[in-house]
Chain A
Amino acid sequence: MGKKVLIAGALTALGFVICYPVIYLISGSFMGNGELGEGLSPILKNGGGFVAWHVIPLFPTLKNFVELLLDSPEFFVMFWNSVKITAGVLAGQLILGAPAAWGFAKYRFPGRKLLFGLYVLLMILPFQVMMLSQYLVLDELHLLNTHLGIILPAVFSTFPVFIMVRFFDGVPDQILESAKIDGAGAFQIFWSIGLPLGAGGIISALVLSFLEYWNLVEQPLTFLKDPALWPLSLYLPNIDLNDAGIAFTSSVVTLIPAVLVFFCGQEYLEQGIVASAVKE
């Protein structure tokens, strides 16, 4: 019994340590500039000693939130950029990816195996491999330095298709057969049987995509020259620590949508992770 308590204790401690950075972030966002400046003085002024941090702020204040929300127009621009890019990618993946996944899962057309293999291959290539090719396409289409240039290649990412195929595979063929006998067309079957029964897979894919594209760094860094177009993920790290209050508060505000999606969609996230397993 003692051993069991020990294991539970160790696991809980580890879980706590893993979440601790988030606690830092949240506590920092409620600190005034005075307290932050004092705590961070070893970094800011190159003074002696080490960063001192009170997890519960000595003088909690909402001043930073107020300042960020009322008095930082550039923050809103970046926030809106992030929303635009993420929403565009998710919508595109849903509209083009879901039918493609349905086609791969439920039809045996000539060349299916080859094409699906191609999708898997393209899925595993990291950005560094695709960077130059994406530049060439975007240059040709005059999409460099535009949001569309970030959104379009991401829409055709093959990973969400792969996840959705996994789930559509589980839709029983008998239902489709009987719908066909009742005279339903191919699109009607997809729309009124495939989509509702595969909804879990679609949501899983979208949750994974959201976490990925809300967090986008490499693509905007490479293809967006104009800082006014940058998403939050590029803007945040460039905030001077002298503005620590704003840095912390904007980090927390960036965090909120991701954490909301995480907690609302955790079940789907877990299913999506399991489905991402490459078994072939």
Chain B
Amino acid sequence: MKRFRIRRGQRAGILFVLPSLLGVAWFLLLPFLDVVARSFLGAVNGEWVGISNYQTIFSNEAFRLAAGNTVKFAVVCIPLLIVISLLISVGLTHFGRKLGFLKSAFLLPMAIPVASVALIWRLLFHSQGIVNGLMEQLGGNPVDWMNSPAAFWVLVLTYLWKNVGYDVILWMAGLSAIPYSIYEAAEVDGAGSWKCFTKITLPNLKPTLYTITVLSFLNSFKVFREAYLVGGAYPHDSMYLMQHLFNNWYRDLSMDKMAAAAVVVAVVIFLVMLCFQRIWARED
């Protein structure tokens, strides 16, 4: 009798989940499965074409450019962001509450609407903008930021600016979980601050590193907003991202290419996540 009641009680959980689940299935899951199916069909007549859509996109130059830029962006940005935010959070943790307001300062860009950012960026990075004015005063040569390969680095800077606070919060949560007694014991044993950092802090932050890597990777897909608002629909080649390509295909109604590329991006993301998981699982 009791057993039955517990099982029935547990089933009520489905009722709580159901409304959300129906929407998720209808708006996200089923349409995505539809896209997977379409990636194997021709655009015009809907006939089975096998992997020919995939062959098309992989030989498409715009796809290669966008994929290359997107990968390059992730490879450059994520390690930079992780190291910079770690340094900041170690610094901030040392001062405790005294520099608490700085945490807000680092987090603030997260709240600044991209559209407002775009306006400032136009002033800062115009070929006759504020940054170039500063550079000339300091004796450097002006750079045409938005119309040269430098555009890529403007995008990197934007990503770092926007996400550093997010990662600082995560690092600080990780740091605060390390018991203070370990440091005290190490100090008694005569360990210096550098030794404490490499032998205690870093090893203890390994789980945090995992979450930060994953989240920074996922956030790196959101940088299109900045790229679009600063560079428009057709920015310099160096910041032409996957999302730009999808937008162009969408305008041309190239559903077959979009379907195949969506599947490729999804698979790559899953593989990368799986890799992260494997690496961490092995180290533990």
- Seen from chain A, the residues whose Cβ lies within 8 Å of a Cβ on chain B are 4, 7-8, 10-12, 14-16, 18-19, 21-22, 24-25, 40, 42-43, 49-53, 96-97, 99-100, 102-104, 106-110, 112, 115, 118-119, 121-122, 124-137, 152-153, 155-156, 158, 161, 180, 186, 190, 211, 214-215, 217-218, 221-222, 232-237, 241, 247-248, 251-252, 254-255, 258-259, 261-263, 266, 269-270, 273-274, 276-279
Contacts and interface: CB of A to CB of B under 8 A. Distances in A.
Contacts of B91: 7-8, 10-11
Q: Among the interface residues A14, A19, A126, which one has the most CB atoms of the partner chain B within 10 A?
A: A126
Given A12-B102, A100-B19, 6 more contacts: A25-B120, A125-B32, A126-B222, A133-B35, A251-B113, A262-B108
A126 B27 contact: no
A41 to B, nearest CB: 9
A232 B88 CA distance: 33
A221 B266 contact: no
Interface of B: 9-17, 19-21, 23-24, 26-29, 31-32, 34-35, 38, 88, 91-92, 94-95, 99, 102, 104-124, 126, 128-130, 132-133, 136, 161, 164, 166, 169-170, 173, 207-208, 211, 214-215, 218, 221-222, 224-225, 228-229, 242-243, 246-247, 250, 255, 258-259, 261-262, 265-266, 269-270, 273
A237 B243 contact: no
A274 B165 CA distance: 12
A190 B166 CA distance: 31
A53 B129 CA distance: 10
Contacts of A51: 123, 126, 128-130, 133
Given A19-B108, A221-B228, A266-B104, A251 B115 contact: yes
The 3 closest A-B pairs by CB, nearest first: A107-B13, A103-B16, A50-B133
A277 B213 CA distance: 10
Contact of B247 (A50, A222, A277): A222
A43 B123 contact: yes
A10 B88 CA distance: 10
A74 to B, nearest CB: 15
A156 B24 contact: yes
A49 B15 CA distance: 66
Given A19-B108, A251-B115, A136 B130 contact: no
Contacts of B128: 42-43, 49-51
Contact of B119 (A109, A124, A156, A236): A236
B218 A124 contact: yes
A50 B130 CA distance: 6
Q: Among the interface residues B13, B111, B122, B224, which one has the most CB atoms of the partner chain A within 10 A?
A: B111
A218 B242 CA distance: 12
A258 B215 contact: no
A11 B262 contact: no
A261 B111 contact: yes
A103 B14 contact: yes
Given A103-B14, A258-B111, A262-B110, A215 B262 contact: no
Nearest to A122: B28
A50 B136 contact: yes
Contacts of A135: 250
B258 A131 contact: yes
Nearest to A40: B123
Contact of B34 (A136, A269, A277): A136
Given A122-B24, A131-B250, A221-B247, A99 B19 contact: yes
Nearest to A7: B91
B266 A100 contact: no
B250 A96 contact: no
B13 A104 contact: yes
B20 A107 contact: no
A115 B246 contact: no
16 contacts: A11-B91, A18-B109, A21-B120, A21-B121, A21-B124, A49-B128, A107-B13, A109-B11, A125-B266, A126-B269, A131-B246, A131-B262, A221-B228, A236-B118, A252-B116, A270-B107
